[in-house]
Amino acid sequence: MKTMLTFRNFIRQSAASLRILPFTVVICSGLYTVIVLLAAQVVPYSATGSLLCSEKGEVIGSELIGQQFTRPEYFWSRPSAVSWNAAGAGGSNLSPASLAMRQRSENLLGAFALKKGEKAPADLVSASGSGLDPHISIASARFQASRVALARGLSIDQVMRVINDPACGKITIALLNESLVNVLQLNRSLDRLQK
């Protein structure tokens, strides 16, 4: 204990700490970051945020980031507690047993104009964790298909074909056999179909 508290030891230890500091910063924050940045050049599309562009070259969003859809001719995303703010994401943080969540869900259900006996998929009344979930379940896509078909003047079969087309945003989680649809890609495919 005595040797530890000598002034000389204090100086030696501080000197060591202060010299090791820049050494580790250069390695961990500098070198490491540069290597990963260089590797990212191999995958420029996803490394810059999987951005999707219109034909005019304007960014319309990111494949990974959900956005708001309110018009009847578009499939709607899952509820977002932050209004799809991709510069300040977050969930509702409501207790799943709270009155607040029940009231919010009732309001959402009102917008769906359910037929008698019809049930809405749960993902369409549950806010996502990030508020930016780009997907809806395949059941939610089917659920919205008739509204979209009507608004676009398409047959339900035509809309269903787009939903089930992997080129239009459908993914399947192989291990779990669950299917999801990327809402932005689906809506963009429909827009292209009708142009």
Task: Write 144-149 long-range contacts (CB < 8 A, 24+).
Answer: 144/75, 144/76, 147/72, 148/72, 148/73, 148/74, 148/75, 148/190
What's the min distance (Å) between Cβ of 186 and another protein?
A: 11
CB of 170 to another protein, least distance (A): 12
Chosen residue from 7, 55, 157, 173 binding another protein by CB under 8 A: 173
Distance CA 129, CA 90 (A): 6
CA distances from 26 to 22, 23, 173, 188 (A): 6, 5, 40, 44
Specify the long-range contacts of residues 73-76, CB closer than 8 Å, at least 24 apart.
73/148, 73/151, 73/152, 73/190, 74/148, 74/187, 74/190, 75/136, 75/141, 75/144, 75/148, 75/181, 75/183, 75/186, 75/187, 76/124, 76/136, 76/144, 76/183
Instruction: Kindly write out the interface string for residues 94-123 of this chain, putting x where it contacts another protein by CB under 8 A and - elsewhere.
Output: xxxxxxxxx--xx--x----x---xxxxxx
Which helix H or strand E contains 174, and what residues bound it? Answer: none
Nearer Cβ to another protein, position 118 or 157? 118
Task: Rank residues 4 and 167 by Cβ distance to another protein and give the closer one.
Answer: 4
Residue 9 in contact with another protein, rule: CB under 8 A: yes
Q: Which segment (26-34, 151-159, 160-168) binds another protein by CB under 8 A?
A: 26-34
78: contact with another protein by CB under 8 A:
yes
Pick between residue 7 and residue 19 the one whose CB is nearest to another protein: 19
Binder of another protein out of 107, 146, 191, 192 (CB under 8 A): 191
Shorter beta-carbon distance to another protein: residue 122 or 156 = 122
**Minimum CB distance to another protein smaller for 113 or for 157:** 113
Q: Is 151 in the site for another protein (CB under 8 A)?
A: no
Query: Which range touches another protein (CB under 8 A), out of 53-61, 144-152, 156-164?
Result: 53-61
